[in-house]
Amino acid sequence: MEKIVIKTRDSVSDILVGAAWEKVKELLPETGVAILTDENIINIYGDRFPEFPVVSISPGEESKKLEVLEKLAEKLLDSGIDRDGFILGIGGGVVCDLAGFLASIYMRGIRCAYVSTSLLSQVDASTGGKNGVNLGEAKNVLGCFKQPEFVICDPLMLKTLPEEEYLSGLAELIKTALIGDRKLFDVIENNQAGILSRDPDLLSMCISMAVNFKAAVVTADEKETGLRRLLNFGHTYGHAIEMFHSFRHGYAVASGMELASGYSLEKGLITLADYERITALLGSYGLLPAHNIPDGIIARLLLKDKKKSGNDIFFVFLNGIGSAVAEKIPVSEAVDFYLHYKPGK
Protein backbone atom coordinates (compact mmCIF):
# COMPACT_ATOMS: atom_id res chain seq x y z
CA MET A 1 0.00 0.00 0.00
CA GLU A 2 1.10 3.57 -0.71
CA LYS A 3 -0.29 6.57 1.15
CA ILE A 4 -0.33 9.76 -0.91
CA VAL A 5 -1.12 12.97 0.95
CA ILE A 6 -2.86 15.98 -0.59
CA LYS A 7 -2.41 19.11 1.49
CA THR A 8 -4.41 22.23 0.77
CA ARG A 9 -4.84 25.42 2.74
CA ASP A 10 -7.75 24.04 4.76
CA SER A 11 -7.46 20.27 4.62
CA VAL A 12 -5.36 17.11 4.44
CA SER A 13 -6.55 14.17 2.35
CA ASP A 14 -4.93 10.70 2.50
CA ILE A 15 -5.16 8.58 -0.67
CA LEU A 16 -4.52 4.92 0.16
CA VAL A 17 -3.57 3.08 -3.03
CA GLY A 18 -3.45 -0.70 -2.81
CA ALA A 19 -5.23 -0.92 0.55
CA ALA A 20 -7.97 -3.52 1.01
CA TRP A 21 -11.29 -1.69 0.96
CA GLU A 22 -12.47 -3.43 4.14
CA LYS A 23 -9.83 -1.38 5.99
CA VAL A 24 -12.37 1.46 5.90
CA LYS A 25 -13.96 0.10 9.08
CA GLU A 26 -10.82 1.09 10.99
CA LEU A 27 -10.87 4.66 9.69
CA LEU A 28 -14.48 5.68 10.35
CA PRO A 29 -16.00 7.35 13.41
CA GLU A 30 -17.88 5.00 15.71
CA THR A 31 -21.20 6.81 15.21
CA GLY A 32 -22.90 9.34 12.93
CA VAL A 33 -21.88 7.73 9.62
CA ALA A 34 -24.10 7.35 6.56
CA ILE A 35 -23.02 5.34 3.52
CA LEU A 36 -23.87 6.68 0.04
CA THR A 37 -23.60 4.15 -2.76
CA ASP A 38 -25.42 2.88 -5.84
CA GLU A 39 -27.54 -0.18 -6.45
CA ASN A 40 -24.84 -2.06 -8.39
CA ILE A 41 -22.31 -1.67 -5.58
CA ILE A 42 -24.84 -2.84 -2.98
CA ASN A 43 -25.44 -6.00 -4.99
CA ILE A 44 -21.71 -6.80 -5.14
CA TYR A 45 -20.31 -5.55 -1.83
CA GLY A 46 -23.30 -4.61 0.32
CA ASP A 47 -23.08 -7.63 2.61
CA ARG A 48 -19.60 -6.45 3.69
CA PHE A 49 -20.43 -2.78 4.32
CA PRO A 50 -19.78 -1.30 7.74
CA GLU A 51 -22.94 -1.38 9.87
CA PHE A 52 -24.27 2.12 9.24
CA PRO A 53 -27.37 3.49 7.46
CA VAL A 54 -27.14 3.15 3.68
CA VAL A 55 -28.67 5.49 1.09
CA SER A 56 -28.42 4.57 -2.56
CA ILE A 57 -28.83 6.08 -6.01
CA SER A 58 -29.45 4.66 -9.45
CA PRO A 59 -26.11 4.00 -11.21
CA GLY A 60 -24.98 6.39 -13.92
CA GLU A 61 -24.78 9.99 -14.99
CA GLU A 62 -28.56 10.51 -14.73
CA SER A 63 -28.19 10.66 -10.95
CA LYS A 64 -25.98 13.77 -11.11
CA LYS A 65 -28.84 16.21 -10.55
CA LEU A 66 -29.82 18.68 -7.86
CA GLU A 67 -33.10 16.89 -7.23
CA VAL A 68 -31.16 13.71 -6.40
CA LEU A 69 -29.08 15.65 -3.86
CA GLU A 70 -32.26 16.98 -2.26
CA LYS A 71 -33.68 13.47 -1.86
CA LEU A 72 -30.39 12.23 -0.42
CA ALA A 73 -30.35 15.06 2.12
CA GLU A 74 -33.87 14.11 3.21
CA LYS A 75 -32.71 10.53 3.75
CA LEU A 76 -29.79 11.74 5.87
CA LEU A 77 -32.22 13.70 8.04
CA ASP A 78 -34.45 10.65 8.39
CA SER A 79 -31.38 8.63 9.45
CA GLY A 80 -30.56 11.12 12.20
CA ILE A 81 -27.35 12.44 10.64
CA ASP A 82 -26.53 15.83 12.20
CA ARG A 83 -23.76 18.41 11.85
CA ASP A 84 -21.27 16.00 13.45
CA GLY A 85 -22.10 13.43 10.77
CA PHE A 86 -19.83 11.69 8.27
CA ILE A 87 -20.66 10.58 4.70
CA LEU A 88 -18.81 7.58 3.28
CA GLY A 89 -19.19 7.28 -0.48
CA ILE A 90 -18.66 3.74 -1.76
CA GLY A 91 -18.72 3.75 -5.54
CA GLY A 92 -17.36 5.32 -8.70
CA GLY A 93 -17.19 8.86 -9.99
CA VAL A 94 -20.91 9.66 -9.76
CA VAL A 95 -21.14 8.45 -6.15
CA CYS A 96 -18.00 10.37 -5.17
CA ASP A 97 -19.29 13.54 -6.86
CA LEU A 98 -22.59 13.33 -5.03
CA ALA A 99 -21.07 12.33 -1.68
CA GLY A 100 -18.63 15.24 -1.74
CA PHE A 101 -21.25 17.74 -2.90
CA LEU A 102 -23.73 16.56 -0.28
CA ALA A 103 -21.11 16.67 2.48
CA SER A 104 -20.23 20.24 1.54
CA ILE A 105 -23.80 21.56 1.85
CA TYR A 106 -25.55 19.31 4.38
CA MET A 107 -25.78 21.15 7.73
CA ARG A 108 -23.42 23.68 6.06
CA GLY A 109 -20.71 21.05 5.80
CA ILE A 110 -19.90 17.67 7.34
CA ARG A 111 -16.97 15.26 6.92
CA CYS A 112 -16.65 12.72 4.13
CA ALA A 113 -14.45 10.00 2.65
CA TYR A 114 -14.60 7.53 -0.23
CA VAL A 115 -14.04 3.91 -1.09
CA SER A 116 -13.37 4.28 -4.80
CA THR A 117 -14.66 1.31 -6.77
CA SER A 118 -13.96 2.25 -10.42
CA LEU A 119 -10.75 2.96 -12.31
CA LEU A 120 -12.13 6.34 -13.39
CA SER A 121 -12.73 7.27 -9.78
CA GLN A 122 -9.42 5.89 -8.49
CA VAL A 123 -7.27 7.82 -10.94
CA ASP A 124 -9.36 10.98 -11.14
CA ALA A 125 -12.83 11.60 -9.74
CA SER A 126 -12.25 10.68 -6.09
CA THR A 127 -9.01 12.66 -5.78
CA GLY A 128 -8.70 16.43 -5.63
CA GLY A 129 -11.96 17.58 -4.07
CA LYS A 130 -13.93 18.70 -7.15
CA ASN A 131 -17.60 17.76 -7.01
CA GLY A 132 -20.30 18.63 -9.52
CA VAL A 133 -23.72 17.86 -10.92
CA ASN A 134 -25.13 18.52 -14.36
CA LEU A 135 -27.68 21.11 -15.40
CA GLY A 136 -29.51 19.98 -18.52
CA GLU A 137 -26.91 19.39 -21.21
CA ALA A 138 -24.24 21.39 -19.36
CA LYS A 139 -21.90 19.07 -17.49
CA ASN A 140 -20.72 19.76 -13.92
CA VAL A 141 -21.65 23.46 -13.96
CA LEU A 142 -23.04 23.24 -10.41
CA GLY A 143 -20.36 22.22 -7.99
CA CYS A 144 -17.95 22.88 -5.17
CA PHE A 145 -14.59 21.92 -3.72
CA LYS A 146 -14.69 19.47 -0.81
CA GLN A 147 -11.65 17.40 0.10
CA PRO A 148 -12.38 13.90 1.45
CA GLU A 149 -10.53 12.93 4.63
CA PHE A 150 -9.35 9.75 2.93
CA VAL A 151 -9.83 7.71 -0.23
CA ILE A 152 -9.25 3.98 -0.49
CA CYS A 153 -8.24 2.74 -3.95
CA ASP A 154 -8.33 -1.06 -3.90
CA PRO A 155 -7.33 -2.42 -7.33
CA LEU A 156 -9.01 -5.76 -6.57
CA MET A 157 -12.38 -3.98 -6.72
CA LEU A 158 -11.70 -3.25 -10.40
CA LYS A 159 -12.16 -6.96 -11.16
CA THR A 160 -15.93 -6.54 -10.80
CA LEU A 161 -16.24 -3.63 -13.24
CA PRO A 162 -18.00 -4.16 -16.57
CA GLU A 163 -15.53 -4.00 -19.45
CA GLU A 164 -16.78 -0.67 -20.83
CA GLU A 165 -16.66 0.95 -17.40
CA TYR A 166 -13.10 -0.26 -16.84
CA LEU A 167 -11.92 1.01 -20.23
CA SER A 168 -13.66 4.32 -19.59
CA GLY A 169 -11.45 4.76 -16.54
CA LEU A 170 -8.39 3.76 -18.53
CA ALA A 171 -8.94 6.83 -20.71
CA GLU A 172 -8.46 9.09 -17.67
CA LEU A 173 -5.30 7.17 -16.77
CA ILE A 174 -3.98 7.80 -20.28
CA LYS A 175 -4.93 11.48 -19.93
CA THR A 176 -2.79 11.80 -16.82
CA ALA A 177 0.13 10.18 -18.60
CA LEU A 178 -0.20 12.51 -21.59
CA ILE A 179 -0.20 15.72 -19.56
CA GLY A 180 2.28 14.88 -16.85
CA ASP A 181 4.08 11.53 -16.88
CA ARG A 182 5.73 10.16 -20.01
CA LYS A 183 6.92 7.10 -18.05
CA LEU A 184 3.30 6.23 -17.21
CA PHE A 185 2.43 6.51 -20.90
CA ASP A 186 5.22 4.03 -21.67
CA VAL A 187 3.90 1.62 -19.03
CA ILE A 188 0.36 1.77 -20.45
CA GLU A 189 1.66 1.36 -23.98
CA ASN A 190 4.00 -1.54 -23.23
CA ASN A 191 1.86 -3.57 -20.80
CA GLN A 192 -1.46 -3.86 -22.59
CA ALA A 193 -1.99 -7.53 -21.76
CA GLY A 194 -1.53 -6.89 -18.03
CA ILE A 195 -3.76 -3.84 -18.09
CA LEU A 196 -6.52 -5.63 -19.99
CA SER A 197 -6.34 -8.58 -17.57
CA ARG A 198 -6.51 -6.07 -14.67
CA ASP A 199 -3.31 -7.22 -13.00
CA PRO A 200 -3.60 -5.72 -9.48
CA ASP A 201 0.10 -5.05 -8.98
CA LEU A 202 0.42 -3.31 -12.35
CA LEU A 203 -2.72 -1.31 -11.69
CA SER A 204 -1.52 -0.29 -8.22
CA MET A 205 1.65 1.07 -9.79
CA CYS A 206 -0.24 2.97 -12.51
CA ILE A 207 -2.82 4.36 -10.10
CA SER A 208 -0.08 5.51 -7.71
CA MET A 209 1.74 7.28 -10.54
CA ALA A 210 -1.47 9.04 -11.61
CA VAL A 211 -2.50 10.02 -8.08
CA ASN A 212 0.98 11.31 -7.24
CA PHE A 213 0.84 13.61 -10.24
CA LYS A 214 -2.66 14.81 -9.44
CA ALA A 215 -1.77 15.31 -5.77
CA ALA A 216 1.09 17.61 -6.74
CA VAL A 217 -1.19 19.60 -9.04
CA VAL A 218 -4.01 19.94 -6.51
CA THR A 219 -1.64 20.87 -3.71
CA ALA A 220 -0.29 23.68 -5.87
CA ASP A 221 -3.65 24.81 -7.29
CA GLU A 222 -6.71 23.48 -5.46
CA LYS A 223 -9.27 25.87 -6.98
CA GLU A 224 -8.16 25.58 -10.63
CA THR A 225 -6.78 29.06 -11.21
CA GLY A 226 -3.73 27.92 -13.16
CA LEU A 227 -1.88 24.59 -13.14
CA ARG A 228 -4.95 22.47 -12.38
CA ARG A 229 -6.50 23.50 -15.70
CA LEU A 230 -4.16 20.96 -17.31
CA LEU A 231 -6.30 18.16 -15.85
CA ASN A 232 -9.01 19.18 -18.32
CA PHE A 233 -7.05 17.87 -21.29
CA GLY A 234 -9.51 16.30 -23.72
CA HIS A 235 -12.51 17.52 -21.74
CA THR A 236 -13.50 20.56 -23.81
CA TYR A 237 -14.53 18.44 -26.78
CA GLY A 238 -15.06 15.42 -24.52
CA HIS A 239 -17.85 16.99 -22.50
CA ALA A 240 -19.63 18.10 -25.67
CA ILE A 241 -19.37 14.59 -27.11
CA GLU A 242 -20.51 13.06 -23.82
CA MET A 243 -23.59 15.24 -23.54
CA PHE A 244 -24.60 14.86 -27.20
CA HIS A 245 -24.07 11.11 -27.53
CA SER A 246 -24.48 10.01 -23.88
CA PHE A 247 -21.17 8.14 -24.15
CA ARG A 248 -19.44 6.94 -21.01
CA HIS A 249 -17.21 9.71 -19.72
CA GLY A 250 -13.89 8.08 -20.57
CA TYR A 251 -14.83 7.24 -24.15
CA ALA A 252 -15.92 10.84 -24.71
CA VAL A 253 -12.71 12.18 -23.13
CA ALA A 254 -10.63 9.80 -25.27
CA SER A 255 -12.28 11.25 -28.37
CA GLY A 256 -11.61 14.71 -26.93
CA MET A 257 -7.96 13.78 -26.45
CA GLU A 258 -7.74 12.61 -30.05
CA LEU A 259 -9.10 15.98 -31.16
CA ALA A 260 -6.92 17.96 -28.77
CA SER A 261 -3.86 16.02 -29.94
CA GLY A 262 -4.74 16.81 -33.55
CA TYR A 263 -5.18 20.46 -32.58
CA SER A 264 -1.76 20.39 -30.89
CA LEU A 265 -0.26 18.87 -34.02
CA GLU A 266 -1.83 21.57 -36.19
CA LYS A 267 -0.28 24.23 -33.94
CA GLY A 268 3.16 22.58 -34.20
CA LEU A 269 3.28 21.68 -30.50
CA ILE A 270 3.70 17.92 -31.03
CA THR A 271 5.22 15.85 -33.79
CA LEU A 272 3.31 13.65 -36.21
CA ALA A 273 5.04 10.66 -34.60
CA ASP A 274 3.67 11.64 -31.17
CA TYR A 275 0.19 12.19 -32.58
CA GLU A 276 0.18 8.79 -34.27
CA ARG A 277 1.50 7.14 -31.11
CA ILE A 278 -1.29 8.72 -29.03
CA THR A 279 -4.11 7.83 -31.40
CA ALA A 280 -2.75 4.32 -31.88
CA LEU A 281 -2.77 3.74 -28.12
CA LEU A 282 -6.32 5.05 -27.71
CA GLY A 283 -7.46 2.98 -30.67
CA SER A 284 -5.75 -0.18 -29.40
CA TYR A 285 -7.92 -0.08 -26.27
CA GLY A 286 -11.07 0.53 -28.32
CA LEU A 287 -11.58 4.02 -26.93
CA LEU A 288 -12.40 5.95 -30.11
CA PRO A 289 -16.07 5.59 -31.11
CA ALA A 290 -17.48 7.68 -33.94
CA HIS A 291 -18.52 11.01 -32.47
CA ASN A 292 -19.63 13.38 -35.21
CA ILE A 293 -21.67 16.27 -33.77
CA PRO A 294 -23.74 18.26 -36.31
CA ASP A 295 -22.25 21.60 -37.29
CA GLY A 296 -25.04 23.64 -35.75
CA ILE A 297 -24.79 21.96 -32.35
CA ILE A 298 -21.07 21.83 -31.49
CA ALA A 299 -20.86 25.60 -30.95
CA ARG A 300 -23.86 25.56 -28.59
CA LEU A 301 -22.33 22.79 -26.51
CA LEU A 302 -18.90 24.40 -26.28
CA LEU A 303 -20.48 27.70 -25.22
CA LYS A 304 -21.92 25.87 -22.19
CA ASP A 305 -18.52 24.60 -21.07
CA LYS A 306 -17.71 25.74 -17.53
CA LYS A 307 -14.14 26.59 -18.61
CA LYS A 308 -15.49 29.35 -20.85
CA SER A 309 -14.63 32.96 -20.00
CA GLY A 310 -16.63 35.42 -22.07
CA ASN A 311 -16.07 34.44 -25.70
CA ASP A 312 -12.87 32.59 -24.83
CA ILE A 313 -12.15 29.20 -23.36
CA PHE A 314 -9.15 27.68 -21.58
CA PHE A 315 -8.05 24.90 -23.92
CA VAL A 316 -5.38 22.36 -22.98
CA PHE A 317 -2.80 21.52 -25.65
CA LEU A 318 -0.05 18.93 -25.50
CA ASN A 319 3.54 20.09 -25.65
CA GLY A 320 4.89 16.62 -26.30
CA ILE A 321 3.88 13.38 -24.55
CA GLY A 322 4.03 14.02 -20.80
CA SER A 323 3.71 17.80 -21.00
CA ALA A 324 0.78 20.17 -21.53
CA VAL A 325 -0.11 23.84 -21.57
CA ALA A 326 -3.44 25.66 -21.07
CA GLU A 327 -4.10 28.53 -23.45
CA LYS A 328 -7.05 30.90 -23.67
CA ILE A 329 -8.45 30.79 -27.19
CA PRO A 330 -11.68 32.04 -28.78
CA VAL A 331 -14.52 29.52 -28.56
CA SER A 332 -15.03 30.11 -32.28
CA GLU A 333 -11.53 28.81 -32.95
CA ALA A 334 -12.25 25.60 -31.07
CA VAL A 335 -15.49 25.23 -33.03
CA ASP A 336 -13.73 25.81 -36.36
CA PHE A 337 -11.12 23.17 -35.57
CA TYR A 338 -13.78 20.57 -34.72
CA LEU A 339 -15.68 21.33 -37.93
CA HIS A 340 -12.73 20.83 -40.23
CA TYR A 341 -11.03 18.00 -38.35
CA LYS A 342 -13.57 15.52 -36.90
CA PRO A 343 -11.54 12.29 -37.25
CA GLY A 344 -14.20 10.23 -35.44
CA LYS A 345 -17.06 10.64 -37.92
Instruction: Report the CATH number at residue 176.
Output: 1.20.1090.10
User: Are 145 and 182 members of one domain?
Assistant: no
Per-residue pLDDT, 77: 97
208: in domain: no
343 pLDDT band, cuts 50/70/90, is low
Residues 324 and 192 in one domain: yes
Whether residue 74 sits in one domain with residue 167:
no
Q: What is the mean pLDDT of residues 233-240?
A: 95
Q: Is the pLDDT of residue 307 over 80?
A: no
pLDDT > 90 in the chain, percent: 84
316 DSSP β-pair partners: 326
pTM: 0.93
- What range does the domain containing 118 cover? 2-160
How sure is the predictor about 345, in pLDDT bands with cuts at 50, 70 and 90?
very low
Reply yes or no on whether the pLDDT at 306 is more than 80.
Answer: no
Give 27-46 pLDDT, tens digit per residue.
Answer: 999 999 999 999 999 999 99
User: H-helix or E-strand containing 64?
Assistant: none
Decide if 213 is inside a domain.
Answer: no
Give the C-alpha separation, 276 to 279, whole Å. 5
Which DSSP string corresponds to 98-151? HHHHHHHHGGG--EEEEEE-SHHIIIIITSSSEEEEEETTEEEEEEEE---SEE
pLDDT band at 141 (very low <50, low <70, confident <90, very high): confident
One domain, residues 37 and 183: no
Mean predicted lDDT score pLDDT of the chain: 94
What is the mean pLDDT of the segment spanning 172-187?
98
